[in-house]
């Protein structure tokens, strides 16, 4: 029961408040109605239509001009930067080209110097070779002349064929002695016997070891002495050549040399 009262009392109060508010509104409406029909005085204000605010326009123009100047300055700076980079690239390319040309020139100069040095060396070797050949030819000519003179002298002094043969033998002996280099191991009492084979022109075609000395170096030096002669002066008479010089023996001893 007490709970019902708790809800009814607030509801009655709320209803009373609403009724009072509605009553006041109706009374005020009746009092204000006659004044609404009174004449209304109108007031007019002259106004001019302004399209834009001059101050704002000026400020906007200044701002636009400043923006344009900044943009132009930025474009100019960009163009200058691009031009500077292009110039730097061009300078770098020019430097690289100059460096490459300098390197090629240096290589060419070194190559020319090397070629010139090689040519000079080749010319020097050729000159030395010619000089050596001329010297050898002179020595050979002198030896041939000496052999010829010796042969002629021995031949004129010879009376018999045997004496003439001995003259040729002496000449052959001298040539072999000149070519013989006695090895350090040579000792007195050693001897080696060689067989020499010639052709009618006097050229040595073969040398064989008939009796060894027992010392390989001594035997080899004797055979080398004969081979180094290459050609001996022999009689032009074929019978005498066949009898005495087609094949003959040579005895080598450290103390002397005998045929």
| pLDDT score at 181 | 86
Q: Report whether pLDDT(30) > 60.
A: no
> Could you give the angle at which helices 54-157 and 161-179 cross, rounded to 10 degrees?
150
Q: Report whether pLDDT(259) > 80.
A: no
Q: Report whether pLDDT(136) > 70.
A: yes
Given a contact cutoff of 8 angstroms between Cβ atoms, the answer to whether 195 and 210 are in contact is: yes
| pLDDT score at 41 | 57
| pLDDT score at 15 | 74
| pLDDT score at 45 | 55
Contacts of residue 231, Cβ cutoff 8 Å, sequence gap at least 6: 201, 202, 203, 204
DSSP string for residues in 97-133: HHHHHHHHHHHHHHHHHHHHHHHHHHHHHHHHHHHHH
Q: Which pTM does this prediction carry?
A: 0.38
**If you average pLDDT over each of 41-50, 108-117, 195-204, which comes out highest?**
195-204
pLDDT per residue as tens digits for the range 33-75? 454 444 555 555 555 555 566 777 788 888 888 889 999 889 9
What is the rounded (10 degree) CA torsion for 141, 146, 147, 152?
130
Q: Report whether pLDDT(254) > 80.
A: no
Average model confidence (pLDDT) across the chain: 79
pLDDT per residue as tens digits for the range 154-197? 555 555 677 778 888 888 888 988 888 888 888 888 899 999 99
Name which of 4-13, 122-131, 140-149, 164-173 the model is least confident about: 4-13
Contacts of residue 59, Cβ cutoff 8 Å, sequence gap at least 6: none
| pLDDT score at 103 | 84
Given a contact cutoff of 8 angstroms between Cβ atoms, the answer to whether 188 and 217 are in contact is: no
222 burial type by CB count under 10 A (0-12 exposed, 13-18 middle, 19+ buried)? buried
pLDDT per residue as tens digits for the range 75-108? 988 898 898 888 998 888 888 888 888 888 888 8
Give the residue, 36 or 256, on which the prediction is more confident. Answer: 256
CA distance 134 to 144: 15
CA distance 79 to 89: 15
Task: Kindly indicate the confidence band of residue 205, based on its pLDDT and cuts at 50, 70 and 90.
Answer: very high
């Amino acid at each position: 029961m007490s709970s019902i009262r708790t809800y009814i009392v607030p509801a009655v109060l709320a209803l009373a408040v609403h009724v009072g508010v509605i009553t006041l509104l109706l009374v005020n409406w009746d009092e204000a109605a006659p004044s609404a029909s009174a004449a209304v005085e109108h007031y007019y204000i002259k106004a001019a239509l302004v399209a834009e605010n001059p101050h704002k326009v000026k400020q906007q123009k200044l701002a636009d001009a400043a923006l344009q100047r900044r943009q132009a300055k930025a474009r100019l700076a960009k163009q200058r930067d691009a031009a500077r980079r292009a110039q730097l690239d061009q300078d770098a390319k020019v430097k690289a080209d100059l460096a490459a040309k300098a390197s090629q020139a240096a290589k060419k100069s070194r190559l020319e110097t090397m070629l010139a040095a090689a040519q000079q060396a080749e010319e020097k070797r050729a000159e030395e070779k010619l000089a050596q050949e001329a010297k050898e030819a002179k020595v050979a000519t002198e030896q041939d002349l000496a052999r010829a003179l010796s042969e002629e002298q021995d031949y004129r002094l010879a009376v018999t064929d045997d004496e003439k043969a001995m003259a040729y033998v002496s000449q052959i002996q001298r040539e072999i002695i000149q070519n013989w280099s006695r090895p350090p191991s040579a000792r007195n009492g050693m001897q080696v016997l060689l067989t020499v084979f010639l052709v009618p022109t006097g050229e040595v075609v073969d040398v064989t070891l008939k009796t060894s000395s027992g010392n390989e170096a001594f035997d080899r030096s004797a055979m080398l002495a004969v081979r180094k002669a290459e050609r001996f002066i022999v009689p032009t008479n074929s019978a005498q050549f066949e009898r005495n010089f087609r094949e003959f023996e040579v005895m080598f001893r450290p103390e002397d040399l005998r045929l």
